Amino acid sequence: MTARTYVRSTLIASLVVLALGGLMLHVRIHPVAKNFSNIVPVIAGILSVIVVPLLFSFKRTLAYGYVLNGFLVIIGTVVMAHFSLAHWPDAATPGAILLGTALADIFILWTAFFVGKVLFDLETFGYAPDRQRKGIPYRYPNLGWWLVHLAAVSLVYTVGNLVWR
Amino acid sequence: MNRFKLFTLNWWILHALAILFFLYLGHVVKFPV
């Protein structure tokens, strides 16, 4: 087995177990029967467990896996932030905001993003250890592009929530 | 040819669809307190 095959398989496995953990946790804590909005993590979880790893597995679909994985993380971030605002701690002290909201869950979710990013970068740009990184930070496929999309999705979602009631 | 050209779909159509999707998502997701 080559180092590339090993690293790729390990990263895909880490995405699968992370997504499985997230899916199972959501099904347990936020059952769909309680609130139909809880269907969002179920759909996102199934996509993350099955579709994302499949897309990441083939060179032709790698970029689609990268984009789907990233947008699922953005959706999770925005919806969990919405959940936190809806269940805002009564005494919003810094400690309560840090530990009493879904901030920790959002941090865990971003692991999936960074694993996907490393997988995409290695598969796209190669595994050479001395390769210099190039490209404009705010253009695809770099981190700034994702931050722009996180901000844009947050804005559009907020408009949908507050204006289109 | 852009190496990272993801979708052959027109950029504007893609973004219009994405905006509609996220507007709808914001509209349907409710967390009653």
Burial pattern A130-143, b for ≥16 Cβ within 10 A else e, equals eeeeeeeeeebbbe
pLDDT at position A69 is: 98
For chain A, which residues make up each domain, given as ranges? 3-162
The Cα–Cα gap between B27 and A160 comes to 5
What pLDDT shows up at residue A133?
Answer: 87
A159 vs B: CB within 8 A:
yes
Residues A19-31 have pLDDT tens digits of: 999 999 999 999 9
The per-residue pLDDT for A20 is: 98
Pick from B4, B31, B33: CB nearest A37? B31
Contacts of B23 in chain A (CB under 8 A): 156-157, 159-160, 164
pLDDT at position B10: 82
| Mean pLDDT within A126-147 | 93
Q: Hey, which residues 23-62 in chain A have their CB within 8 Å of chain B?
A: 35, 37, 40
The answer to whether residue B2 scores a pLDDT higher than 80 is no
- pLDDT number for residue A26: 98
